[in-house]
Amino acid sequence: MDIRNLRTGLGMDVHAFAEGRKLILGGVDIPHHQGLDGHSDADVLAHAISDALLGAVRGGDIGKLFPDTDPAYKGADSLKLLAEVARYVRERGFEIIDVDSVIAAQAPKLSPHRDAMRENLARAMGVPVENVGVKATTTEHLGHEGREEGITAYATCLVCRER
């Protein structure tokens, strides 16, 4: 492998909490008194990872591929969008090597769901689960996450151009 073919990507996304919505993170339906608002299922983690991958291949961003004005994506399963992004990355000649992420959420406690999220994300991207990291942190009650107004997710990835 020629290291000059390596590319990194960085993604972040924020969604606000809303009553009467499900909380879907990494494709896991997490029990909570409120969920995240959005045009899609508002899976902020899947969106941040999608943007990291798109950034690494200079492929724009999730809103370019899946406009939030398009009724086709109303209530969309973001794991399916992530799988489409992974296919797009491969079509552009890149292999997905590694993905890491962190979710900033004051509540709920996310660590019990970590491995289920990793497995869903890995399956969607077609990579081994060992190559997908998910972490969680509170923001010590600071900012919109700390006030439980919303959740932020950050992701990085490493890809390699194969052809």
Ligand X SMILES: C[C@@]1(CO)OP(=O)(O)OP(=O)(O)OC[C@H]1O
Ligand Y SMILES: Nc1ccn([C@@H]2O[C@H](COP(=O)(O)O)[C@@H](O)[C@H]2O)c(=O)n1
Binding residues for ligand X, rule: CB under 6 A, are 13, 38-40, 42, 47, 62-63, 66, 68, 73, 76, 81
Does residue 140 contact residue 146 with C-beta atoms inside 8 Å?
yes
- Looking at the Cβ atoms of 31 and 71, the one nearer to ligand Y is 31
Binding of ligand Y at residue 31 (CB under 6 A)?
no
Q: Do the annotations mark residue 66 as ligand-binding? A: yes
Q: Distance between CA atoms of 38 and 36, rounded to whole angstroms?
A: 7
Which residue sits closest to ligand X, CB atoms considered?
Answer: 38
Q: How, if at all, do strands 35-36 and 94-104 pair?
A: unpaired
Q: Distance between CA atoms of 102 and 45, rounded to whole angstroms?
A: 8
Q: In whole angstroms, how close is the CB of 75 to ligand Y at the nearest point?
A: 25
Among 140, 77, 79, smallest CA distance to 107 is for 140
Which residues of the chain form contacts with ligand Y (CB under 6 A)? 105, 109-111, 136-138
Annotated binding site: 13-15, 39-40, 47, 61-63, 66-70, 137-140, 147
